[in-house]
Amino acid sequence: MNKKFIPYAKPMDLTDAEMSSRSDQFYQFIRSRRTIREFSDQDVQQDVIDNCIRSAGTAPSGANQQPWHFVVIRDAFIKNQIRMAAEEEERNFYAGRAGDTWLETLEPLGTNAHKPFLEKAPVLIAIFEQKYALDETGNKTKHYYAKESVGIATGVLITALHNVGLATLTHTPSPMNFLTKILNRPDGEKPFLLLVVGHPAENVEVPDIHKKELKDISSHF
């Protein structure tokens, strides 16, 4: 039988009061995260990005299959290729493919087909979902709950980046198959999203939008 268990090291043992305080501290910290669309070109150290990706890699996943791959892009030529391809898709999206309802919903965000941040930000992280694993002999192993797993890992990544004062933009040019091609990713992987990472541009503004209140996102039995 291929099964081995080891003791679980409880990470901390807090009093009720400490738990209340820490939960509020975390809430205050995470609520300060905002998606931004204007980045400075200030560099970000690779060891920081590496640790944030390591953190993402600790996420729970279906059958612990860890069906994710993170491509870190700093190269100006590759960034330019990505920007060109993304803007082409976005021009079609904003020119009609999205449909009026979708475009109306996006209005408060002030987005458009122009994506200079794809070249200006120091780091792009293309996140891929591995639908199945492919070994050297071409054998496929299905990944269970791949999309859910990659979504959770991406949430951890965004939180880890926020934790070091970096800003992110969860960019989803659609379709984004061009990422597979430009980044030379194998069959079985599907682009999940493109995370733009860096320091915010000076005096950057964010839309005046709000999160739902607790009562609107939770219920009790």
Which residue of this chain has its Cβ atom nearest to ligand IYR in the complex?
111
Amino acid identity of residue 67, one-letter, is P
**Shortest separation between residue 74's beta carbon and ligand IYR, angstroms:** 21
Shorter beta-carbon distance to ligand IYR: residue 67 or 73: 73
Residue 61 CB: number of other CB atoms within 10 A?
A: 20
Shorter beta-carbon distance to ligand IYR: residue 141 or 172: 172
Cβ contacts of 89 within 8 Å, gap of 6 or more: 173, 174, 175, 176, 178
**Shortest separation between residue 94's beta carbon and ligand IYR, angstroms:** 7
Q: Tokens 């694993």 label which residue?
A: 133
**Shortest separation between residue 84's beta carbon and ligand IYR, angstroms:** 15
**Shortest separation between residue 98's beta carbon and ligand IYR, angstroms:** 7
Amino acid identity of residue 129, one-letter, is E
Shorter beta-carbon distance to ligand IYR: residue 55 or 174: 174
Shorter beta-carbon distance to ligand IYR: residue 106 or 156: 106
Shorter beta-carbon distance to ligand IYR: residue 173 or 200: 173
Q: What burial letters (b/e) apply to 163-196, b meaning 16+ CB within 10 Å?
A: eeebbbbebebeebebbbebbebeebbbbbbbbb
Which residues of this protein are in contact with ligand IYR, per CB under 6 A?
A: 90, 93, 106, 109, 111, 171-174
Ramachandran region, residue 169 (left: φ > 0; alpha: ψ -120 to 50; beta: rest): beta
**Shortest separation between residue 218's beta carbon and ligand IYR, angstroms:** 23
